[in-house]
Amino acid sequence: MKTWLRWRWVALAVAAVLLPAVAWAQGIPLVNVSNSGKDLQYSLSLQLLALMTTLSLLPSLLLMMTSFVRIIIVMSILRQALGTGQTPPNNVLVGISLFLTIFIMTPVFNDIYKNAVVPYMEQGMKFDKALAAAETPLRGFMTKQTREDDIALFMQMTRKGDVESADSVPFTTLVPAFITSELKSAFTIGFLIYIPFVVIDLIVASVLMAMGMAMLSPMMISMPFKLMLFVLVDGWSLLMGSLAASFVT
């Protein structure tokens, strides 16, 4: 009797999981075309499906079209230069990079919300016009951070001629050029951060060799000095301020 009850609850649980999925699959109708004009009116189910697809792409959009890439790379290089292993942990670095990205991108997000989201949600702006309005401030931010050489490189790869202005660069070309420029900037900043800590490692290694303590790991001795130097110069404040100031707004 207990076995039968157990299988009954398992069957109910499986049905509770599968029935909404089946009902959702059967409830997606075709695209409805209005009779009054040429505009397409999409059903609510398709709109929800498009919304869920867009939400799944948000992490990629955040990574590739904002300041997040440069910040997280610099943070990772700093941790490696300090020689602290997994301290700070990855979750902490991602959280710091995320909130610093929000701080830097707040003017852009405000423009998108004011010029695209509010008119679309409250004033009935068409989706394509709202998308174009949201693209304008984001394009302006990305263009200011992107090197002209990178834009020219990707324009040459697409076999298109020279553009008259930055606004005429296709968005699909601007995004990879922006990512390339961000990688260059991140590794340049990381190189400058790495130099003082390498100097400390060399000094400690030379002192240990002179004292005949070659078997002792220089990293174990140099890490406290690197941490002390980083704390004494208020490294976190300098790093955060320099990263925020490195973006042209």
> What is the pTM (predicted TM-score) of this model?
0.72
- The verdict on residue 62 lying in a domain is no
- The verdict on residue 111 lying in a domain is yes
CA trace torsion 193, 195, 199, 201 (10° rounding): 70
- The verdict on residue 97 lying in a domain is yes
What local confidence, expressed as pLDDT, does residue 222 receive? 79
CA distance linking residue 18 with residue 175, whole number of Å: 40
Helix axes 171-210, 218-232, angle to 10 degrees: 120
Q: Which domain holds residue 133?
A: 86-145
Tokens of 158: 């697409």
Class of residue 72 by CB neighbours under 10 A (exposed 0-12, middle 13-18, buried 19+): buried
What local confidence, expressed as pLDDT, does residue 13 receive? 44
- The verdict on residue 206 lying in a domain is no
Which residue type is seen at 183? L
Buried b (16+ CB within 10 A) or exposed e, 108-128: beebbeebbeeebeeeebeee
List, in sequence order, every residue forming a beta bridge with 57; answer none if it has no partner: none
The distance from CA 229 to its chain's CA centroid, rounded to whole angstroms, is: 30
Closest CA to 63 of 183, 224, 189: 183
Helix axes 171-210, 68-82, angle to 10 degrees: 10
The distance from CA 36 to its chain's CA centroid, rounded to whole angstroms, is: 43
φ, ψ (nearest 5 deg) of residue 243: -65, -45
What local confidence, expressed as pLDDT, does residue 16 receive? 41
Count of structural domains within the chain: 1
What local confidence, expressed as pLDDT, does residue 156 receive? 81
- The verdict on residue 173 lying in a domain is no
Query: What are the DSSP calls for 139-168, one per residue?
Result: HHHHHHHS-HHHHHHHHHHTT----SSGGG
Residuewise pLDDT in 10s, the chain (249 residues): 444 444 444 444 444 444 444 444 444 444 444 444 555 554 556 656 666 776 777 777 777 888 888 999 999 998 888 888 788 888 888 888 888 988 988 888 888 888 888 887 777 778 778 878 888 888 888 888 888 888 888 888 877 666 666 677 788 888 888 999 999 999 999 899 888 888 888 888 888 788 777 676 777 777 888 888 888 888 888 888 888 888 876
Tokens of 120: 């679309």
Tokens of 123: 């004033």
CA distance linking residue 247 with residue 241, whole number of Å: 11
What local confidence, expressed as pLDDT, does residue 19 receive? 40
134 neighbors 115 (Cβ within 8 angstroms):
yes
- The verdict on residue 121 lying in a domain is yes
- The verdict on residue 154 lying in a domain is no
CA distance linking residue 223 with residue 216, whole number of Å: 13
Tokens of 242: 């320099």
76 neighbors 69 (Cβ within 8 angstroms):
no
